[in-house]
Structure 1
Amino acid sequence: MSREPEWDDAQRDALLGLQIYESQLCRCGVHSTLTHDPEQRFPLDSDTCPVCAGLARYDRILRDGDEQHLQRMGSTPPPGMPRPSDGRHVYVHHEPPADRPVPPVQLQT
């Protein structure tokens, strides 16, 4: 009994092409063929997400508390001494109002 390979040549070629393409992306997500073309324009825009803003404030509050804790521990606590931030993960939980159910997500195609 022989098995078919998991990937055929066309699929391998497509994945290799994707890997090459992604390796040429700038950290901003735009491909280098566009970023290095002087005729391309990239107007900048910004948006403020209230959830991200809340996370940033919460992170500052936690870091401030961590710094105060380290100061109470002394000038140079040993690196192996546990810190309040060790293993900390901050999560956002969405709690919609009870009288308004969450609308279904509209996927863009």
Structure 2
Amino acid sequence: MRAITRQLEPEWGAADRALAEGLYVYDADVCPGCGQHSSVLDDPENNVLTFEDRVCAVCAGSERHARKLAAVDRDWERRHTEPDQHAGIKAHLESARVPRPSDGRHVYLRRMHPEEIQAATHAHEKGAEPKEE
């Protein structure tokens, strides 16, 4: 049987390793809080920053939805009080069997189909609350 030897090229060359090491050194000097590099933070003339607010419509919608769900959960908890500490094991087991609105809830974001957008627009124009799934 004949042995075949093959020379494999290294995945990383010397230049790639030098760049990766340089990035590591650079990242070590970045503030984890604000994300600015020490070269900016330590130089008063270069440390001229301003704060700007930007509203993301997706995040705003997500936060409104989370507040709506939290209100439903609070309402449910107000109507279904937990048994007090001395109520006994039977009361606690009975309480655990009552499903909560948040049980198994998974909130995800998906793009609406153009027909859904049109239906929601018409519902909004008529003053009806759009149906959420």
Q: TM tier, shorter chain?
A: 0.5 to 0.7
CA positional deviation for 1:70:
5.0
Q: Is residue 66–residue 85 contact of structure 1 (8 Å, CA) maintained in 2?
A: no
- Residues in 2 aligned to 1:37 and 1:85: alpha-carbon distance in whole angstroms: 52
TM-score by length of 1: 0.63
Structure 1 counterpart of 2:28, from 7, 23, 28 = 23
Structure 2 counterpart of 1:5, from 10, 15, 24 = 10
Aligned length: 95
Structure with the largest fraction of helix: 2
From the CA coordinates, give the structure whose radius of gyration is larger: 2
Q: Does 1:47 align with 2:85?
A: no
Q: Which residue of structure 2 lines up, in the alignment, with residue 107 of structure 1? A: none
1:42-91: CA deviation from partner (whole Å, max 9, x where unpaired) = 011112122221111111222333344455362688xxx79726572421
Which runs of 5 or more residues in structure 1 are unaligned?
99-109
Q: Which residue of structure 2 lines up, in the alignment, with residue 35 of structure 1? A: 41
1:23-58: CA deviation from partner (whole Å, max 9, x where unpaired) = 322232221220232222101111212222111111
- Residues in 2 aligned to 1:22 and 1:11: alpha-carbon distance in whole angstroms: 16
Is the deviation greater in 27-36 or in 45-54? 27-36
Q: Which residue of structure 1 lines up, in the alignment, with residue 63 of structure 2? A: 56
- Residues in 2 aligned to 1:94 and 1:41: alpha-carbon distance in whole angstroms: 42
Q: Which amino acid aligns with 1:14?
A: L
